[in-house]
Amino acid sequence: MVPVDYYIILSAILFTIGALGVLSRRNPLIIFMSIELMLNAANLAFVAFARVYETFSGQIFVFFVIAVAAAEVAVGLALIVEIFKSKKNINIDEMNSLKG
C-alpha cells in the first residue's frame, strides 16, 4: 500500500501548480483550469485521509466539492462569455474597473 505521505506530497505539488497557474496566467480559462487543479489537489488529500482513517466523510466531501466546482465553472464560464461580449477580449488584467 502506498503510504499516505506520497498522496499528500502529490496533492501539495498539484495545489502549488494550480496556485501558480492562478497567479501567473492571464487567460481566465487557464485560471479556471488551475482552480480545478487546486480543487482536485484538495480532493486527493480528502480521499487519502478518508482511507487512512477509514471514514466516508472525506469521500462525501469530495462529491460536494466536485458538485460545487461544476456549478462554479458554469457560473464562471457564463461570466467570461458576457465579459467577452462587452470587451471583445478576456484579458484578466483589463478587468480592473473596480480599481480604487
Partner 1 sequence: MHLSETINTGFYFLAPGLVLVPLLGLLINAIFGKSFSEKMVGTVASLASGTAFVISVLLAYSVSINHGHTVSVPFAEWIHIGNLKLDWTFRVDSLSATMMLVVSGVGTLIHIYAIGYMHEDVRFKHEEGRFTRFFIYLNLFIAAMMILVSGDSYLMLFVGWEGVGLCSFLLIGFWYEMDTLARPSWANSNAAKKAFITNRVGDFGFLMAGFLMFWHLGSFQFDEVFKAAPAIAHESPWIIVAITLFMLVGVAGKSAQIPLYIWLPDAMAGPTPVSALIHAATMVTAGVYLVTRSAPLYTLVPQAQYIVAMVGATTALFAATIAVGQYDIKKVLAYSTISQLGFMVAAVGMGAYVAGMFHLITHAFFKALLFLSAGSVILGLERGHHALAHHGHDDHSKGKKKEAKKVESGHGGHDDHDEVFDPGDMRNMGGLRKTMPVTFWLYMAGTLALAGIFPFAGFWSKDEILLDAKLHFTSIYWQLSIAAFFTAFYMGRQIWMVFFGEARTDAAKHAEESPRVMTVPLMVLAVLSVAGGALNLPFEGFHNLGHWLSYTIGEVEGLPLNLGVAGISTVLALLAIFISWLIYGRNPLKTGQVDPLKKPLGFVFTGMENKWFVDEGYGVLIIKPFKWLSQFLADVVDWKFWHDFVHDTVIAGTYNWISEVALSRYADQKGIDAFFNSWGDFTNWLSGNVRKIQNGFVRSYALSVLLGVVLILGYLILK
Q: Which residues bind partner 1 (CB under 8 A)?
A: 19, 22-24, 26, 92-93, 95-100
Q: How far is the CB of 60 from partner 1 (least distance, A)?
A: 24
Closer of 29 and 60 to partner 1 (Cβ): 29
Nine-digit cell string for 92: 484578466
Closer of 64 and 94 to partner 1 (Cβ): 94
Closer of 85 and 99 to partner 1 (Cβ): 99
Q: How far is the CB of 100 from partner 1 (least distance, A)?
A: 4
Alpha-carbon distances, residue 92 vs 20, 34, 39 (angstroms) = 15, 14, 21
90 within 8 A of 83, measured Cβ to Cβ:
yes
Q: How far is the CB of 56 from partner 1 (least distance, A)?
A: 26
- SS3 assignment for 3-35: CHHHHHHHHHHHHHHHHHHHHHCCCHHHHHHHH
